[in-house]
A and B are shown apart, each in its own frame.
Chain A
Amino acid sequence: SQTIHQWPATLVQPVGSPLSLECTVEGTSNPNLYWYRQAAGRGLQLLFYSVGIGQISSEVPQNLSASRPQDRQFILSSKKLLLSDSGFYLCAWTLPYLSVNTEAFFGQGTRLTVV
């Protein structure tokens, strides 16, 4: 069966520090991978998605970046965090095509607080 791991679960970082959140998927190949941010009381904002190794699409301009060094690994990074980067970050995967089972599977999320 497929599983998705995201870590860390919580993170408190000072303004200006770097960030690295990691997400890995098991049990499937060539998934589409996504990073979402959920600010308090807000919806799911798509930050990045990837349809293959090294292929990253950015939905919102910001000081965050994403990388996909391996097929089932997706990393969210920042060189210098801002206070506005605080939020709940969710990694997700879907099959790359519309099939019988095309739901999005989410990781447990990372609660990031920038202080």
Chain B
Amino acid sequence: GENVEQHPSTLSVQEGDSAVIKCTYSDSASNYFPWYKQELGKRPQLIIDIRSNVGEKKDQRIAVTLNKTAKHFSLHITETQPEDSAVYFCAASKGASGGSYIPTFGRGTSLIVHP
């Protein structure tokens, strides 16, 4: 099955700095890579995703890059703000036989943005 590794487990930055979280996956057939943000005590929610037919996607201060050859993808947050503090999860999935879609999550990165 798919295996997703996520690093670092904890990331501490100063407000205004950039933050980068990296994930690798094992199954070359994976073709959908979402990122979720989980604020303390709340449910994870999708913030950005990328499909295997593109190499980069950007939405305001966040961007995701994908390197299919190396099987890794990254989340980039620029001009970090204290409200960016949360746990971030990457995931990988593919359309399996029978049409099922089962995401595999990374272990999460706790991002702390110091004012």
Contact = CB atoms under 8 A, between A and B. Distances in A.
Interface of A: 32, 36, 42-44, 46, 49, 51, 90, 94-98, 102-104, 106-109
Contacts of A96: 99-101
Contacts of A104: 34, 36, 44, 46, 91, 103
A26 B89 CA distance: 25
Interface string B3-30: 0001000000000000000000000000
Contact of A98 (B32, B46, B105, B106): B32
Contacts of B44: 44, 90, 104, 106
B78 interface: no
Interface in B93-115: 93-95, 98-108
Contacts of B89: 43-44
A44 B105 contact: yes
Interface in B38-82: 42-46, 49
Contacts, number: 59
Given A44-B89, A103-B49, A94 B106 contact: no
Nearest to A57: B102
The 9 closest A-B pairs by CB, nearest first: A43-B107, A106-B43, A98-B95, A103-B46, A97-B99, A43-B108, A44-B105, A51-B100, A106-B44
Q: Tell me which of B94, B101, B108 has the highest count of chain A C-beta atoms within 10 A of its own C-beta.
A: B101
A83 B111 CA distance: 29
Contacts of B100: 32, 51, 96-97
